[in-house]
Amino acid sequence: MNTQWLAGFPVFRLISLVIAIVLIVSFIPHSESQSIMPEAAAQSPEDAAAVFKVPAGAVKPAESAASFARISSSKQSSVTPASQPQSKPKEANKVIYLTFDDGPSKWTDDVLAILKKADVPATFFVLGEQAKRFPEIISRINEAGHAIGNHTYNHKYDELYASFGVFWSQIKETEEVLRNITGKRTPLVRAPGGTYGHFDTAYFQLLEQGGYKVFDWNLDSGDSKRKGVPASEIIQNATPAKPGDSVTLLMHDGAGHEETVKALPKIIDYYKSLGYEFRAITPEVLPVQFAVSPKMKNSKRPQPSSGWIQAHIVPNAELFGPGEPLYVEAGGLETKLAAGEYELRDGQFRVPLRAVMERLGAEVSWNGLEKSAIATWGDTRIIVSSADDTIVVEAPGESEKRFTASLEWRNGLLWLPLRTLLEVTGHDIMSVTANTEERRVRAS
C-alpha cells in the first residue's frame, strides 16, 4: 500500500499544479490578458479591418476621416482632459473689394484720404480722358498701393457698344495713358454700365484672349442711379444685412459724387464690424461677371475678322505674360521695353515707334488719317509714313535722307525694326546681348 501511494504521488502533485494554474489565470483581468498577446497578431490587417470597418453608406465621404479618428481615439480613452484645448471650426474668410468708377475727379483725393485713415485698399476703374486731365491723382492712387483698372476712354455707350473695334481702341488708348503715368499696364477692365446688355460673347472672349480680366460687381451702392443720391441711401444700399462672403461693391468717384465721399466712412466701418478683409482687385481674383443678356445673344453687331484678331488680339496677350525685358541704349540714354512691348521676328527686334522715341526723349505727333508720325529728337526731325513704307530724316545743315523700311500699323501703333529706327537716327548698333533675365541693345 505504501508503495502504491508513493507511486501515485507525482500524479497527485501534477494534477494539483494544473488546477492552481487554471485558478490563477481565471483571475487575471481581460485587459492584461490582451497585453500578453503577440504584437504581430494584434496589428494584423484582418484585426484592424474587423475593429474599424464601417458599413458602406453609413458615413458621408467628408465625415469619414473624422469618424475614423473618433473610433480610434475611443479605444484609448473616452474622457477628454479639461485642460486640453478644444478646436473651433474655422470661419470662412469674408472679403470685400471696394471699387470706384469714372474718376479721377476732384473727389478722388477725398476718397484716398478716407482709405488711408481707415487703412484699407481699393480699386479705381478710371477713364482715360480723366486720367489724362488729372495725371497727378493717378500717381497718388498708384503710390498709395491701390489697384488701377481700365474703364475705357470716354464712357460713351453709343461708341463703345457699336462695335468691338471701338471698345478695343478705347481700352488701348486708356492703357497707354496710364502706362505713361505709372509705367505699368493694367489688365483689369470694367465696362461702362456693366457688361449686361452691352457685351455679347465675342466681347468677353476677345478681351480674355487679349490678356484682360473683366470685372462687374455683385453689390451696387446705387450712388449713380440718379443725380444727387443722398449719402443715407448710398449707405443703406451698400450695407445689406447679409452681404455674402465675397463682395465687389460698386461706387463712383467721378464728378457729382460728393455724397459717396460722405457715405464711405460708414460703409467701411460696417464691413469692419462684420470681420471682412479689405482687398484690392488683382488679376488672380476670380471676377464677378454678368451673364450675356438674351438681347446680346441674338445681336447682329458686326464681328471682327479673323485677320484683325490675329493682328490685334493675339499679340496683345504677350503684354501681360512672362518674358525678358528689352533694354535699349542710344545717345547716352537707356529705355526699357517690357515683354510684349516688343517682338522678335525673323531675327529682328520690332518695336512701336512712339514708345521707344518718347522714352528716349523725343516728341512724337501723329497723323491718323495718313497713318504717319513725326518725331522730333533734338535737332533732328523724323517723318515716318506707313502709307509708302518710308522714313525721311531732316537735320540742320544736312540734306534730306530717305529710307525704305518695313513698317506695320497695329493696335493703333506704328511698328518697325529697332535696327532701322536706330540707324536712320544716326545710332549704329554696337552690341546685342541676351540672357535669362534681359535682352540688351547698345548703340552709339
Instruction: Please report, in tens digits, the pLDDT of each residue of the chain (444 residues total).
Output: 444 444 444 554 555 555 555 454 444 444 433 333 333 333 333 333 333 333 333 333 333 333 333 333 333 333 333 333 444 434 448 999 999 999 999 999 999 999 999 999 999 999 999 999 999 999 999 999 999 999 999 999 999 999 999 999 999 999 999 999 998 899 999 999 999 999 999 999 999 999 999 999 999 999 999 999 999 999 999 999 999 999 999 999 999 999 999 999 999 999 999 999 999 999 999 999 999 999 999 998 999 999 999 889 988 888 887 778 899 999 899 999 988 788 888 778 999 998 898 888 889 988 777 778 899 988 899 999 988 999 999 999 999 999 998 998 776 678 899 999 999 888 999 999 988 789 999 999
- Per-residue model confidence (pLDDT) at position 232: 98
408 exposed, middle or buried (CB, 10 Å; 0-12, 13-18, 19+)? middle
Q: Are 98 and 278 in contact (CB under 8 A)?
A: yes
Measure the CA–CA gap between 134 and 116, rounded to whole angstroms.
20
- Identify the CATH class of 95-311: alpha beta
pLDDT of residue 56: 35
pLDDT on residue 17: 56
Specify the amino acid at residue 220: D
pLDDT 10s digits, 182-239: 988 999 999 999 999 999 999 999 999 999 999 999 999 999 999 999 999 999 999 9
Sheet strands side by side (includes 401-404): 363-367, 372-377, 380-385, 390-394, 401-404
Q: Count the neighbouring beta carbons within 10 Å of the beta carbon of residue 59.
A: 14
Query: What confidence score (pLDDT) does residue 53 get?
Result: 32
Tell me how far apart the alpha carbons of residues 415 and 387 are, in angstroms, rounded to a whole number: 13
pLDDT at 5: 44
Strand partners, 126: 150
Q: Nearest-CA neighbor of 201 among 320, 312, 295, 309?
A: 295
**Which pLDDT score, from 0 to 100, does residue 13 have?**
55
- The confidence score (pLDDT) of residue 150 equals 99
Catalytic residues: 101, 252
Predicted local confidence at residue 65, as pLDDT: 33
List pLDDT tens digits, range 39-87: 333 333 333 333 333 333 333 333 333 333 333 333 333 333 333 344 4
Name the residue with cell 525704305.
404
Q: What is the pLDDT of residue 321?
A: 75
Distance CA 84, CA 74 (A): 16
Nearest to 269 by CA among 240, 227, 308, 239: 239
Q: Do domains 95-311 and 322-443 have the same CATH topology?
A: no
CATH homologous superfamily of 322-443: Copper amine oxidase-like, N-terminal domain (3.30.457.10)
238 Cβ neighbours under 8 A, 6+ residues apart: 219, 221, 222, 249, 251, 263, 267, 270
The dihedral sign for the CA sequence 378, 379, 380, 385: positive
Each domain of the chain, given as residue ranges in start order, spans 95-311, 322-443
Biggest distance spanned by C-alpha atoms of the chain: 154
* Amino acid occupying residue 283: P
At 70 the pLDDT is 34
* Rounded Cα–Cα distance for residues 366 and 354 (Å): 9
